[in-house]
Structure 1
Amino acid sequence: MKAEAWIFAITTAFFVLVSPAYWFVTGDWTGTSALVMTTLLAAMVTLYLGFHAAKMDPRPEDRKDAEVADGAGELGFFPPYSWWPLWCALTLGVMVYAVALGLWWLLIIGGALGAVALSGLVFEYYRGEHAH
């Protein structure tokens, strides 16, 4: 993860330079505060990756003497197709629409359907074709 830590460190340095320059050029508080928060967020990710990179064994990507065969093997679990994120997004859309129009009854219906959709997403791998 050392490479990722360096990428975020460079990004943090960029935002450290850009944030005051933006303030001096525009004088805009909104954009400046957004850039400062972006700087702090990038710094937080940099510190996280840097601390964990120091504690981990080097990955093949981090070693200079690594070969392509060193990275072979299983990379992890990647879930197959799923329709549940679509239903979760649609019910959230219905709930936001209900709040925007002030329709409390539609908010309740969207919340109930959203609970069903979220339960389906969470428990997707406990039943059906992809059960573990």
Structure 2
Amino acid sequence: MRASARIFWILAVFFLIVAIMYGLLTGLYEPLGIEPVGFPAILALSGLAAMIGTYLTLNNRKFGTRPEDRLDAEVEDEAGVQGSFAPYSWWPLWASLGAALVFLGVAAGWWIFALGIIVSISGVIGWVMEFSTGQYRH
């Protein structure tokens, strides 16, 4: 994870530099100042890369050197259970449908955006709470 964290930190710094340069260059040509879409989008891209870099850095500190960080690692070093996944869950479908409606709503209309928020929140809550029913209830 150390190499992946470094890559995302490099990307975060790169996109921050690009956002600053983009803001300065478009500010020279726009009569009202900074261009309203590109500068915040590139700045958000830098923030997203920093979030992933932070996550990978914290996981590297918590779990130490992983097999993918070692040059002498074998494929079977990472063998075993990778997680617990619901085999026949419909909740990811609803969460992704809600996300698609949210993105469509930004372009087409705010009422579609609101509907997408409702569908995606219910999908994510159902997905998270899927194993908290029946005998697994807390």
TM-score when normalising by structure 2? 0.58
Contact residue 23 and residue 29 of structure 1 kept, 8 A? no
What secondary structure is seen at the aligned counterpart in 2 of 1:16?
Answer: helix
Identity %: 40
- State the Cα deviation string for residues 27-69 of structure 1 (Å, max 9, x = none): 3143212322332332233234223313422111111221112
Q: After the TM superposition, which residues 1-132 of structure 1 pair with which residues of structure 2 at under 5 Å, given as runs?
A: 1-27=1-27, 28-86=35-93, 89=97, 100=111, 121=127, 122-123=129-130, 126-127=133-134
TM-score when normalising by structure 1? 0.60
Paired AA for residue 100 in structure 1 = W
Query: Unaligned regions of 5+ residues in structure 1, if any?
Result: 102-106
What secondary structure is seen at the aligned counterpart in 1 of 2:51?
Answer: helix
RMSD across aligned C-alpha pairs, in angstroms?
3.6
- State the Cα deviation string for residues 59-85 of structure 1 (Å, max 9, x = none): 111112211121112212122122344
Q: Distance in 2 between matches of 1:54 and 1:118?
A: 29
Query: Unaligned regions of 5+ residues in structure 2, if any?
Result: 28-34
